[in-house]
Amino acid sequence: MVTALSINALTKIYGKKKAVSSISLDIPAGSFYGLVGPNGAGKTTTLNMCTGMLLPTSGTVELFGVDVWRNVDTARREMGVMPQADEIFDRLTGLQLLVYSGMLRGMKKPETLRRAHDLLDAFDLSDAENKIVADYSTGMKKKICLGTAMIHSPRILFLDEPFEAVDPVSSANLKDILKEYVATGGTVIISSHVMSLVEKMCSHVAVIADGEVRASGTLDEVATGKDLEDRFLELVGGRHEAAQLSWLDGGVDGNAAVSGHADETSDTDNTENANTNSLGGDVDAQ
């Protein structure tokens, strides 16, 4: 097994906060690797340290044997990193942004143009190629950001929540493109909260919580025979009883929204909806 990315005791401390605490992971080449964890778990911080964007407090990252922090330029050549929408030059058109990204990576203009059109076509953005990116929808921006990460054909792709806000058709197309990329030897690392997506797309997964790896390996190794989402909840903990928002009653009593005291102001006894502890009808499902 060739290791694409080797993370060793990676740590990031902000003041007194340990955002990432001695994480170690080996990510095999050709894998589709999911980093999953609750909000604030440390996924983005970990990815940013792996891509040379955020200096670790301690620990090392090697990309195909190259120490990322000793050789940032060399390592970056092998990477495609999906930027956040607020990190791109959004006064460019979609086409200009892709061409700019390719040429920044040292590509010749004719080849960059060819690939840019291929990407726009694959991402259903051809009709918007001459529109400035600032006027794109959130999902369109997400797709163009992904395009900028792919145009130079990197060996490894780092994608932070790539499918968030992308419509199901575009999402299915993107997934096909990424699957094909992995099938031809590429490596993809994504962060996600969506377990069904991880289950469908990923060959490997690391569950991160409180800056630590709680489990890692192939999907089967991490799931240990259980439903992946249940296993995730078991690993990260933090599940509690349904919130008791007694004032949130879906407007059952018209006065409740005004007064906030449904019991005092209601003169009807609606026994069917008497359980004002519920968020809609999902209490049992929780």
Ligand X SMILES: Nc1ncnc2c1ncn2[C@@H]1O[C@H](COP(=O)(O)OP(=O)(O)OP(=O)(O)O)[C@@H](O)[C@H]1O
Binding site for ligand X (CB under 6 A): 14, 17, 19, 37, 39-45
Choose between 37 and 94: whose C-beta lies nearer to ligand X: 37
Choose between 17 and 239: whose C-beta lies nearer to ligand X: 17
The CB-of-11 to ligand X minimum distance in angstroms stands at 12
Q: Which sign, positive or negative, has the C-alpha torsion 45, 230, 205, 178?
A: negative
The pair phi, psi for residue 149, each rounded to 5°, is: -80, -20
The CB-of-210 to ligand X minimum distance in angstroms stands at 9
> Can you read off the two tokens belonging to residue 65?
């044997």
91: Cβ contacts below 8 Å, ≥ 6 apart:
132, 133, 134
Choose between 37 and 59: whose C-beta lies nearer to ligand X: 37
The CB-of-193 to ligand X minimum distance in angstroms stands at 6
Structural contact between residues 207 and 215, judged by C-beta atoms closer than 8 angstroms: yes
| CA distances from residue 12 to 38, 172, 189 in whole angstroms, order as listed | 18, 35, 19
Structural contact between residues 75 and 38, judged by C-beta atoms closer than 8 angstroms: no
The CB-of-138 to ligand X minimum distance in angstroms stands at 16
Residue type for 188, please? V
Choose between 182 and 209: whose C-beta lies nearer to ligand X: 209
Residue type for 40, please? G
Return the number of other C-beta atoms located less than 10 Å from residue 107's C-beta. 19
The CB-of-159 to ligand X minimum distance in angstroms stands at 13
Choose between 41 and 228: whose C-beta lies nearer to ligand X: 41
